[in-house]
Structure 1
Amino acid sequence: MRRSEQLVSKLTDVKLPDSVQYFSGGGNTTHRVHYQSLPVSAFVRWPSNKPCMAVNTYLLDQAHRWTGDSVITEANKLVELVRFCAHGRADRRACDFGDLSDNDVARLIDKLCTDAYVDDVSQRVRNNNTVRAIMQSCFRFLHWYQDTLYMKPFPLIGDRNSGAAITVMQKVNPHSNRSYFDHRYLPPTNTQDPKLPISNTMIEDIEAVVEELYDAESYPEPARRRFGRDYVLFDAYRVYMTARRDFMLMMMERTGLRPSELAAMSLADNLCSTKGQRPYLVLPTLKRRRLNPPPRHFHINNDLALRVRIYMRERNVWLETCQERNPELTDHDAMLLSTEPGKHGHSIANTALEKDFEKLCLRAGYKGAQSCLSMFRHRFITLEVRLHLKELGKGKTELNKQDYRIVLEKVKERTGHKSIDSLWHYIDLAYEMDGVWEPVRQAEEQMLAADQLRYELRHLRREWRHKNTSDMTPEQVIDLVVDRLGGIINKSVRGGLAR
């Protein structure tokens, strides 16, 4: 992909003065300032490194519309307009947002449609749907700009009758019932097949890559060079990255949560919830447009709770290693920690998780294939729908719309959907995956047991590759390994993998 200067910075825990309350009494006047608290915000710069005041003001003014890292996504879309105004015109001269015209919009859309990857110029960086999404953000910003900062006598953006410099028409999507801006230069939408659930084969291939990257020999020299001669930090990095990737894959497969929800998980909440007799996970629900996302409780079994606590232990080891090298680094409530240079031990953004998963997919040989974290969510929802359909005890021809609504309402509580409107197509996916209705509960238990078996065997392999057995006889080593394997196999039998 073409490399561009980074113009967006992520800000956390931003406090802004929101209102002032005055008090009078005894001849004195005092006041109290009320602040708005933003967990995440974005700061946008021009390519000249000067702050882009208009976009930054817009992002703060519209902060109530976004949750999690959505504001970062929005800022990255608007950066395309910022870059164009800085040096995208034909004369290469910078222009203000208020100077834009339909010709500029046409040139910007053409650029977004024709940007290609450096290593493969035949591949577009963005498809038509992505270009349309970027332009929707730009049109919303320009409408806001016109209402707040624009000073010229003629309209900047509006319909044909307004005589605006940029002509758009507001329409309503008949499927989602959402309004959007249409412009005559926008490319047509791509009619893409829906993303399918991730396959078992792909999961196993990615797990194999995670296991491979546990070894120091798997890292090229440039990757090790950034650790200098700090071998302790490098070893801690390898161990934590393996634990974080294991945890990421497990959570995505077992809970179907969104990547942004995984990045926003609370350490303190889950530390307590996974220790009880009925362990559960506390997951934020970020799709709902609230500043404080509502948590949902997701019940898990004891094996899964143990794996969560094992990850927490590895997380703390990595944090302590980072604190030894950066005494100013304090503990915080983020479940996932960064391993990026200069950000060791800090909280991680969901975009970093997605990039890491993309790297794992490429190393596993899935270049150019559909491979993203959302495929885990599709898999989880499809399996949940399939399970609840079977529990109704009716054949496909006996089920009516009310039966399907009951199923989707149950699934909605597990997945954090606000309504069942976006879940209906999973009914067809569930039937396609199920075929002739094999015993679903047994299949579900076997799938979970298989995942646990792979996890146990990977950990056994790691443990014995790095275990000091110099003081043990071969018979003692064999006995210990056989005992561990016996326990793992017995657990798999209880899970229904063998008879």
Structure 2
Amino acid sequence: MNDDDLTDFADWLSEGKQRSGRYINRLLLRVIDFYIWAQDTVLGKRIVGGDSEFLQISISRKIVKVPRGRGRSIRRHRAMLPNNVPRTVHPMSTKVFYNLLDSSDKLSKTGFVRKRNRMLLVLLADSGLRREELTIVTVESILQSAENGMIKVKTSKRRGNPERVIPLPRETTDALCEYVKTSREILIRRLKKRHAGFIDEGWAFCTRYGGRLAPSTISQLFSDLREHANVSEVATAHMLRHRFITIQLVTRLKKAGSKSTIGVEFLTTILSQLASVSGHASIDSLWQYVDWAFDELDQAEDADVSANSKAKEIIVDMIEDAKACQDDTLVQDLRIVLETITTLETGGTVNRSVLAHSLRSRATR
């Protein structure tokens, strides 16, 4: 095996199936790791080294800066391909979410797993948790959420995993408490009877054996649900996080609907408040949600206009029928309703500045 063989292997991987450059590079690094292991344990001689060592396989290293001023060593081989442009993942649609939710009731044969998976999906949608954060949600935090409507979670991807609190709808906290007090409690009782010395670690979304779920298990669950629900588009746990954050931003923008223009400073304040709920270290990565939120608002406004037009058509027909029946009082009342709808159509909807749709680029300058 030499450098040319690795190049041929990379060319073969890039043919046929649509594999990303990032995926192919991971495979190449795995092959290189195997030969590093082999040279130390089997071959008895070195075949992998730096560019200046002139061995069979030559790799180079460079230091790449990462957040907080640290550096990370990156290995490269000449056979590696350029990484693809990161794919933009949009929020999960409501239709897809409910398809997955319906499939969760049918996918598993075990009652506990069915209930757990359903509550897992509901909490992801209503809290915007990351996979890693969901796996360490405790029974205690769920029971406490029933008292104050806030669930306390540990934030991943932050130094020290600081705790944050997320508001939950009353229906969600009630459903979660019912799950831990019934389905999960029954499972734990059975495990204690079957296994002497079994200790409940308190994970809310545990496995059938009482252990902590792995984040990869959640990813596999979404893959299985997609297949079972015949969902062709991408649907991941992180897309539910995108959905939650977008809805939260839409709600805050609706409250500010009286403002004809929404400035950068105002949006910065909203995103700062949202970051404390979503667990983002800074608001820089939240600006993408501004465009998604305005898209949601535009779609809602289009739906309102369509509904108003349909209502006006119905009222006009009713006015004609009232005239035919010579019911002048009804005609007058219906005209008042028609004028009210027309007024709401023209004056009730606030026109947002076009500037608002491009605030992200302006804020980063």
Normalised by the shorter chain, which TM-score bucket?
A: 0.5 to 0.7
Kindly report which structure 2 residues correspond to 1:22-101, keeping only aligned pairs within 5 A, or say none: none
1:432 is the counterpart of 2:295: yes
Distance 1:391 1:155 in 2: 65
1:389 is the counterpart of 2:253: yes
- Conserved 8 A contact 2:49-2:59: yes
Match of 2:199 in 1: 330
Match of 2:58 in 1: 166
Describe the shift of the 1:163–1:385 C-alpha distance in structure 2 as closer, same or farther (beyond 3 A). Answer: farther
Deviation of 1:137 (Å): 8.6
Aligned length, in residue pairs: 292
Distance 1:131 1:423 in 2: 30
Please give the secondary structure, in 2, of the residue aligned with 1:296. Answer: strand
If the length of structure 1 is used for normalisation, what is the TM-score? 0.50
Match of 1:211 in 2: 105
Match of 1:128 in 2: 21
Deviation track 1:276-304 (CA, whole Å, cap 9, x = no partner) reads 2x2321211111244xx222111224322
Match of 1:250 in 2: 122
Describe the shift of the 1:409–1:358 C-alpha distance in structure 2 as closer, same or farther (beyond 3 A). Answer: same
Which entry has the higher C-alpha Rg, 1 or 2?
A: 2
Match of 1:374 in 2: 238
Distance 1:135 1:423 in 2: 34
Match of 2:163 in 1: 295
Please give the secondary structure, in 1, of the residue aligned with 2:164. Answer: strand
Please give the secondary structure, in 1, of the residue aligned with 2:165. Answer: strand
Match of 2:279 in 1: 416
- Conserved 8 A contact 2:3-2:58: yes
Match of 1:350 in 2: 215
Residue type of the partner of 1:262? L
Please give the secondary structure, in 2, of the residue aligned with 1:282. Answer: strand
- Conserved 8 A contact 1:282-1:295: yes
Residue type of the partner of 1:309? C
Residue type of the partner of 2:58? I
Please give the secondary structure, in 1, of the residue aligned with 2:85. Answer: coil
- Conserved 8 A contact 1:210-1:242: yes
Deviation track 1:251-295 (CA, whole Å, cap 9, x = no partner) reads 111001111111111223433x2242x2321211111244xx222
Distance 1:176 1:190 in 2: 25
Please give the secondary structure, in 2, of the residue aligned with 1:168. Answer: strand
- Conserved 8 A contact 1:169-1:183: no
Deviation track 1:101-156 (CA, whole Å, cap 9, x = no partner) reads 64565466557657xxxxxxx645x53233345667999x89x99xxx9xx99995
Residue type of the partner of 1:324? K
Kindly report which structure 2 residues correspond to 1:94-243, keeping only aligned pairs within 5 A, or say none: 102-103=3-4, 105-106=6-7, 109=10, 123=17, 126-132=19-25, 157-158=49-50, 160=51, 166-168=58-60, 170=62, 180-191=74-85, 193-213=87-107, 238-243=110-115
Please give the secondary structure, in 2, of the residue aligned with 1:274. Answer: helix
Q: Percent identity of the aligned residues?
A: 21
If the length of structure 2 is used for normalisation, what is the TM-score? 0.67
Q: Structure 2: which 5+ runs fail to align?
A: 303-365
- Conserved 8 A contact 1:266-1:282: no
Deviation of 1:247 (Å): 0.9
Describe the shift of the 1:137–1:407 C-alpha distance in structure 2 as closer, same or farther (beyond 3 A). Answer: farther
Describe the shift of the 1:173–1:181 C-alpha distance in structure 2 as closer, same or farther (beyond 3 A). Answer: farther
Deviation of 1:200 (Å): 1.2
Deviation of 1:376 (Å): 0.3
- Conserved 8 A contact 2:245-2:289: yes
Distance 2:12 2:195 in 1: 43
Distance 1:371 1:349 in 2: 18
Match of 2:145 in 1: 274
Deviation of 1:392 (Å): 3.7
Deviation of 1:306 (Å): 1.1
Deviation track 1:396-425 (CA, whole Å, cap 9, x = no partner) reads 8x3333333222211111111111222221
Deviation of 1:386 (Å): 2.2
Please give the secondary structure, in 2, of the residue aligned with 1:270. Answer: helix
Describe the shift of the 1:365–1:176 C-alpha distance in structure 2 as closer, same or farther (beyond 3 A). Answer: farther
Match of 1:284 in 2: 154
Q: Structure 1: which 5+ runs fail to align?
A: 1-88, 90-100, 115-121, 220-237, 440-499
Distance 1:109 1:282 in 2: 46
Deviation of 1:353 (Å): 1.7
Distance 1:281 1:389 in 2: 24
Distance 1:209 1:185 in 2: 43
Residue type of the partner of 1:294? P
Match of 2:328 in 1: none
Residue type of the partner of 1:170? K
Deviation track 1:333-358 (CA, whole Å, cap 9, x = no partner) reads 2222213xxxx222221111221221
